[in-house]
Structure 1
Amino acid sequence: MTVSAGWGRTRAMAEPYVQEYRARWADMDFNQHMRNAAYLGVAEETRLRFLESGGWTMAELYRRRLGPVVVEDLLTYRKELRLLEPFRVDMAVAAITPDARKMKVRNRFFRSSDAAACATVESIILWFDLEARRTIVPPPELGQLWLGLARTEDFVRMEG
């Protein structure tokens, strides 16, 4: 099975999801490299693009009154990204419950020019019923989208 990877590309379900970006002026900090909040924002954007590529648009999530809630982020820096520098972000699952209610998603940032690893964002995510204000098991098709995403080399099964 393949899904759209954006920009007219497709990918096999067992491959990491990949998106390309450029570091923007608004992403820079005082030291003239990408600021921490920008890394978190790009990780969020990548997750939302992944959902959309699997048929889960923001309108559909809103219609169903459900959404992903990040309860923890861990950001690790390795190399700098500078203004207008192109980079790519891949995404894979590091841990997930069998019902996809809770997961740890890992985004890795790489400079396009030399493929240098720049940063990693690991996020613990829960699915949330926006009306009942509680965690839920996502609809089966949505759960399968996440369960079908590539797994990291150190993947572990997560308990609910």
Structure 2
Amino acid sequence: MNFLTLRWADLDPNFHLRHSVYYDLAAQERLSILDRHGITIQAMQAENFGPVLFREECQFKREIHLTSKIYLETKLLKMRKDGSFWTIQHEFLSDSKKLHALLFVEGSWIDTIKRKLARPVPSVVFKGMESLPKTADFTYA
């Protein structure tokens, strides 16, 4: 779980977290967790691949304010057995584990030279995706 540092600029006129900030925080956390599991920016550049999103959805449950103590927990919800398609779940949780928002992204990997989906995925991707933390209801799609 990653503790979030919120900024004044992250707030909307109602003094709670702006909707687009949830997506930005989740994107940053996704890149961090991929990096921790071997899918680094350097590996992506060296092997000419990168993540591509098809769908992103956030369910807002409770407001988050500037002084809220919020953690972001990121886990793999679904993945094809070859690692080519996946769904990642982000939970925005208070320090008392109350759910404030649930964000899902569905994606794949793109060959950055051919500009087509990467098939098969590079081995570094498969190993990294396999090692990501998984939800209790994780499934291979």
TM-score by length of 2: 0.90
Shift, 1:86, TM fit: 2.8
Q: Tell me if structure 1 keeps the 8 A contact 2:37–2:131.
A: no
Q: Tell me if structure 2 keeps the 8 A contact 1:88–1:110.
A: yes
Q: Tell me if structure 1 keeps the 8 A contact 2:38–2:124.
A: no
| Structure 1 partner of 2:107 | 125
Q: How does 1:105-124 map to 2 (within 5 A)?
A: 105-112=88-95, 114-124=96-106
Shift, 1:115, TM fit: 2.5
Shift, 1:55, TM fit: 3.0
Shift, 1:41, TM fit: 0.8
Give deviations 1:43-68, integer Å, cap 9, x for gaps.
11111101221233323312322111
Question: Matched residues in 2 for 1:55 and 1:102: separation?
Answer: 18
Question: Matched residues in 2 for 1:32 and 1:86: separation?
Answer: 15
| Structure 1 partner of 2:45 | 62
Question: Matched residues in 2 for 1:64 and 1:38: separation?
Answer: 30
How many residue pairs are counted as aligned between the two chains?
Answer: 140
Shift, 1:84, TM fit: 4.2
Question: Matched residues in 2 for 1:34 and 1:96: separation?
Answer: 30
Amino acid at match of 2:75: A
Runs of 5+ in structure 2 lacking a partner? Answer: none
Q: Tell me if structure 1 keeps the 8 A contact 2:39–2:124.
A: no
Larger strand fraction of residues? 1
Shift, 1:22, TM fit: 1.7
| Structure 2 partner of 1:86 | 69
RMSD: 1.5
Q: 1:115 to 1:141 in 2, by over 3 A?
A: same
Q: 1:60 to 1:140 in 2, by over 3 A?
A: closer
Q: Tell me if structure 2 keeps the 8 A contact 1:103–1:125.
A: yes
Runs of 5+ in structure 1 lacking a partner? Answer: 1-17
Matched, 1:77 2:60: yes
Matched, 1:98 2:81: yes
Q: How does 1:1-160 map to 2 (within 5 A)?
A: 18-112=1-95, 114-136=96-118, 137-158=120-141
TM-score by length of 1: 0.80
Larger helix fraction of residues? 2
